[in-house]
Chain A
């Protein structure tokens, strides 16, 4: 990805992130979070992770944030705007930021810079050898396209099949939980 696009999307993300905590109105904060996620999706797409980028917009920016907005509007958080800001939360937040920065600097200074290989036709054709000859993935790779949805699906349903099925059970349990904990009392 051209570096000016990286800076553009990172700036959008940072502005969005700062606005989440800067705004007093919860609805404005939630919408700033949408901005932040859009910037993140741009970064993903710039890194050739097209599917993850689109999912970021569809699921997080779309579905999850709409849910957030619904909850905020249902709860009617008027008091939040009047509340004074204490020193303790600010200090705790800053301490977390410092901890993250220290970790990142520590790691980045220790590890050598690496450049990811370009996704040119040669790399993709070489990768096609790992898949059965006439499969969709191999065809797309020899054509010089990146079939990232197919690749993710292939990984999920072969290599990560067991955790995926367990996640199904987990979702079922969560559904049962919501029903048992929130159903109306019988008369």
Chain B
């Protein structure tokens, strides 16, 4: 099966969902979400039999100009599967979250306004899958805009909730600004090298007399990308938008959108790092961004009292760790994973831990009507099992040994030490220490703070299954990371 069928099928799934949602009369819209989840799972299965043009060079489709914009390697498969798994979990999360979505959309008593949410998530997934195959800046830009425009809608989806609307406006304005930076940067890269194809960039760079205009363009593109991955200097939107957006959207933003930003960054940096004229300044730029992001994200998270906002800062902090891994620019060797492998592995563990936390957060939001750390108090007494799961997930986010989060952080540290980035190691150590403090604050609230609200939180079946799976996966990959690493070979 030609690889682009994956995206085509995902678009078709989105269209089917829209049509079915509009024409099938039904009171509850949960089945739309279940249909979306089943479709995404089927497409996820199909990634195993998808092939690129190299596998079948004689076929008619292998000669189409499409392949100038679309590459299909193991990294593309990994990030396509990543987008699909993330969307699948977000759709499942929004099925259980639909009572809140319904309250703030069409009419509190009906679910009529919630059906499009699932279709939009699927369309965002298409954009992320296309970004995984990015090969040309023009094509990548269109895919990135597909993701961003979909997120404008998903963030503001609860249009009768003032917080969601405010978040939507903030995201729209800052997103448009960052898009401006990105396009302007692409124009500079095109103007100085004469090509937008990433494959043709290295040879064009080698012929350049002066790299100043190119480096200027790269810096502008990096500003645009920093918005997507949530890194300094474009991190200001994160806390407000994360707090205001519907919880499934926040989860999607913090995992899917961030991973899409990182795969585009990886694709964009690959040709630049191949040339010594650009690799030095580019790595230095990313290194500075990484340190600033690590310090800002971790230290600003400490005083937070709202849990969703805390997760926003924590997502900035994790972007800092990921950028630090990229800044080492280490290539893959026989006995040590390279920067790209480490980033991909870290993102995979980040998906598992973060989405697990969001599943629990969504139910606490619904049943205790609050998202403050205070609202988690007493969870250890009323729901010991749930509290244990959340403790494991948060400990993994902090990076406790024997959890998946530890292995990711350990790999980043060893990369940075091998590359001799000592300032980066110091910033990461400060960040990790601060991380222990703010994640354990929530754990402390759960187990040792007396609660005013002792109603036990009951997880619906889907959430229960997902939380259990994700928690077990967090522990499992903590001492057995080989399956994820094998996917990256």
Contact = CB atoms under 8 A, between A and B. Distances in A.
Contact of A173 (B105, B153, B159): B153
Contacts of A158: 65
Interface residues of A, number: 27
Nearest to B115: A180
Interface in A136-166: 158-163, 166
A177 B152 contact: yes
A167 B141 CA distance: 10
A98 interface: no
B113 interface: yes
Interface stretch (A18-26, A38-46, A102-110): A102-110
Nearest to A186: B107
Contacts of B11: 169
Contact of B153 (A107, A110, A181, A187): A181
Contacts of A172: 123
A176 B65 contact: no
22 contacts: A106-B212, A107-B213, A160-B138, A161-B64, A161-B66, A162-B66, A162-B69, A162-B139, A163-B139, A163-B142, A166-B126, A169-B126, A169-B146, A173-B123, A173-B153, A176-B18, A177-B152, A177-B153, A180-B105, A180-B153, A185-B160, A186-B106
B146 A166 contact: yes
Contacts of B138: 160, 163
| Band of interface residues on B | 35 or more
A161 B106 contact: no
Contact of B146 (A170, A179, A187): A170
Contact of A159 (B65, B105, B120): B65
A163 B145 contact: no
B145 A170 contact: yes
B207 interface: no
B65 A169 contact: no
Contacts of B120: 173, 176-177
A183 B105 CA distance: 10
A182 B113 CA distance: 11
Given A169-B11, A173-B146, A176-B119, A163 B69 contact: yes
A180 B113 contact: yes
A187 to B, nearest CB: 8
A166 B153 contact: no
Nearest to A179: B116
A14 interface: no
Contacts of B157: 180-181
A167 B116 CA distance: 19
A162 B71 CA distance: 12
Contacts of B65: 158-159, 161-162
Q: A160, A179, A187 — which one has the most chain B CB atoms within 10 A of its CB?
A: A160
Contacts of A159: 65, 68
B485 to A, nearest CB: 31
Given A162-B139, A170-B145, A181-B156, 6 more contacts: A110-B210, A110-B213, A159-B68, A170-B146, A176-B119, A180-B157
B261 to A, nearest CB: 17
Contacts of B127: 166
A186 B143 contact: no
A177 B142 contact: no
B257 to A, nearest CB: 15
A169 B64 CA distance: 20
Contact of B149 (A173, A181, A185): A173
A160 B69 CA distance: 8
A170 B216 CA distance: 29
B110 interface: yes
Nearest to B168: A181
Q: Which of B146, B152, B209 has the most CB of A within 10 A?
A: B146
> Which of A172, A180, A181, A185 has the most C-beta atoms of chain B within 10 angstroms of its own C-beta?
A180
A180 B116 contact: yes
Contacts of A182: 159
Given A106-B212, A163-B142, A166-B143, A173 B112 contact: no
Interface in B93-110: 105-107, 110
Interface in B142-193: 142-143, 145-146, 149-150, 152-153, 156-157, 159-160, 191
A173 B70 CA distance: 22
A174 interface: yes
B141 to A, nearest CB: 8
B130 interface: yes
Contacts of B191: 107
Given A176-B119, A185-B106, A167 B142 contact: yes
